[in-house]
Amino acid sequence: MCGIVGYVGGYDCKDVLMEGLSKLEYRGYDSAGVALHMGRDITVVKAKGRLAVLKEKLESKNLPVCHCGIGHTRWATHGVPSDVNSHPHSTPRVSIVHNGIIENYGKLKEDLIKKGYEFVSETDTEVLVKLIDSCYTGDPLLALTRALALVRGSYGLAVLFKDFPDIVYAARRESPLIVGFGKGQNFVASDVPALLKYTREYAVLDEGDIAVLTRDKIDFYNEFGTPVEKNHLTADWDMEAAEKGGFPHFMLKEIYEQPEAIQKTVGPRVQNGLPDLRIPQLSDEALAKIGRVHLVACGTAMHAGMVGKTAIEKLARVPAVTEIASEFRYRDPILSPEDLVIIISQSGETSDTKAALELAKQRGCKVLAIVNVVGSSIARAADYVLYTYAGPEIAVASTKAYMVQLSVLYLFAMRLAMAKGKLDEAQARRLTAELLQTGEKINGILENCDQIKFLASKFMNASDLFFMGRGFDYALSLEASLKLKEISYIHSEAYAAGELKHGTISLIEQGTPVIALATQKDIYEKTISNIKETKSRGANTLLFTTQNQPVPDGVADYVVRLPEFEELFMPMLLIVPLQLFAYYVSVLRGCDVDKPRNLAKSVTVE
Ligand code: M6R
């Protein structure tokens, strides 16, 4: 979603802001802008569209070098993408950039209009800047604490006050914000990649925190204006990890990084050949007491949860349910203290997922988070964390994060099964050894992707496409369908193979593309029958199965063969050609692979 960068220091702040914003482009945006302290004035430049438009506008103004400013990429929530709605929003005394949503902006706006303020945009952010202005009597910190106390909703904020050149103010509630420490310069940003060129040392603002940044120091206050201390963290990502490294797109790079990500994530959690979660509170004794598991997440992370659910039930025979976070949070779920809630999120900042976590905690459940971003809100709020070590995932379409979510869920399912006495040591050792082999198998698939490119060219002109499968393959159908939809804009549906004939089969006609996934031997023939049902109605069928499975004549127009492997872990292999398929279709259709329209990398609003 929206991105924030703020800077105070020796460099020309226009360059630092534009550089930082370019590193946040992946989050998704539709307009951008900067506010620059110019002596005792603040100059605002903003524009609808990509950063290139803003850059051109900035250059045309020939502004002098300046050393303090804030910048923003906006993903529209209140009001269409336009110059006037883009950030910063300003009064003659204050300029702000804002991530998040001010829920009570309507009421605040009414009150401000009564006080004489006029409004030009449709945004909640304009209300916020005018609210801060109305609370300002010469002390910026006081103005912020007073104004923010009146606000309901979420905000990550960077603020300039005209009377205080060389100071950036920042504040956060329910929307991530970090500050970066440099020598003679300091930074604020909504995400680590914006800082990496200048510093790796940063601190995360907590709920309600306010930071005051000058060149030489950063002071922190809580929501009441009382000074607080912050821990310094060091980003273990480097610039290279946030660059394309010779690949044409981040998505392709990230698909190829999957074997390494699995190694980094699984390797340290295998001790003496067995899964070891390395969380003292999740000892076998504690795991044995778990009555039920809820896996809660959004989008791709939720699809990982579906694979996790099946693995937990198959291995540990513990009832498990996968839940969409935005449903879970409002459906008054039945939870008991013996239940474990597993929250899955790449960013650790997804608004609905965070709310689901809070609900689970309120209901007395222990929460285990599977998260990629260290120090993110979800990681900090959970009782226990299993980090996935995928490194920065920049492409909006999640690939490597999904892969490592699967690998962690398998480790968890195996350890739970051991604790429950459903998996003996020998079986667990064998499965763990197989899990450690997945990276090598994936490398083999990546080395032979010409067939997938060819198939992408065959299906790229489809307007509607069906995926289907059973069990694990159904969960994979959903993920494959989401991947294709989000980056190629082809409409697609995913169906449990046996369910198609209960309605949707009426859509199958001559030439309708149907992609069937059949990697599980016990249900293979059932899925083959379902493909036949579509074939006999004219479908153009593509089957993904394993090397040695017999494919009866007249079932599949095309077959992709995956290596024979432990069935439990087939999802980790199968997803790779499906990711590549979506990727190549998107490239062939000329879509913006890494930054698909209307989407944001981290969905920090409801
Ligand atoms: O950061 P999270 O894992 O919580 O994000 C959840 C979804 O927004 C995310 O997986 C989304 O569905 C991806 N764009 C899918 O590729």
Give the model confidence (pLDDT) of 446-467 as tens digits.
Answer: 998 999 999 999 999 999 999 9
Cα separation, 504 vs 26, in Å, equals: 36
Q: pLDDT value at position 236?
A: 74
Residue 405 CA, ligand 1 centroid: distance in Å: 12
C-beta of 399 in contact with ligand 1 (< 6 A)? no
In short, whether 405's Cβ falls inside 6 Å of ligand 1 is no
**Sheet with 366-371, side-by-side order of all strands:** 320-324, 292-297, 339-345, 366-371, 384-387
Burial annotation 35-73 (CB, 10 A radius, 16+ → b, else e): bbbbeeebbbbbbbbebeebbebbeeeeeeebbbbbbbb
Q: Residue written as tokens 């998040």? A: 100
Please, are residues 350 and 605 in contact by the beta-carbon 8 Å criterion?
Answer: no
Amino acid at 561: R
Place of tokens 């930054």: 595
Output the pLDDT for position 239.
64
* Residue (of 569, 504, 576) closest to 533 by Cα position: 504
**Sign of the torsion angle spanned by Cα atoms 247, 253, 259, 262:** positive
pLDDT over 90 percentage in the chain: 86
> Does ligand 1 have an atom closer than 6 angstroms to the CB of 346?
yes
- Catalytic residue chosen out of the listed positions 2, 13, 365, 449: 2
Q: Is the CB of 90 inside a 6 Å radius of any atom of ligand 1? A: no
Confidence of residue 246 (pLDDT cuts 50, 70, 90): confident
**What's the angle, vertex CA 501, arms to CA 497 and CA 506, rounded to 5?**
120
Cβ-based neighbours of 366, under 8 Å, separated by 6 or more:
281, 340, 341, 383, 384
State the Cα–Cα distance between residues 467 and 54, nearest whole angstrom: 41
Q: Is the pTM of this model over 0.85?
A: no
Write out pLDDT tens, residues 377-386: 899 999 999 9
Q: Does the annotation count 2 as an active-site position?
A: yes
Q: Which residue has the tokens 């020309």?
A: 12
Least confident of 171-175, 256-260, 555-559: 171-175
Q: Which run of H or of E encompasses 315?
A: helix 299-316
Residue 161 near residue 94 (C-beta atoms within 8 A): yes
Peptide bond into 275 cis (omega under 30): no
- The pLDDT, as a whole number, for residue 27 is 76
449 is known as an active-site residue? no
Match 């013996």 to its residue by tokens: 338
Instruction: Report the residue among 298, 345, 591 best suited for mutation to probe ligand 1: largest number of ligand atoms under 8 A from its CB.
Output: 298
Cα dist from 205 to 6, 89, 223, 244, whole Å = 14, 22, 11, 29
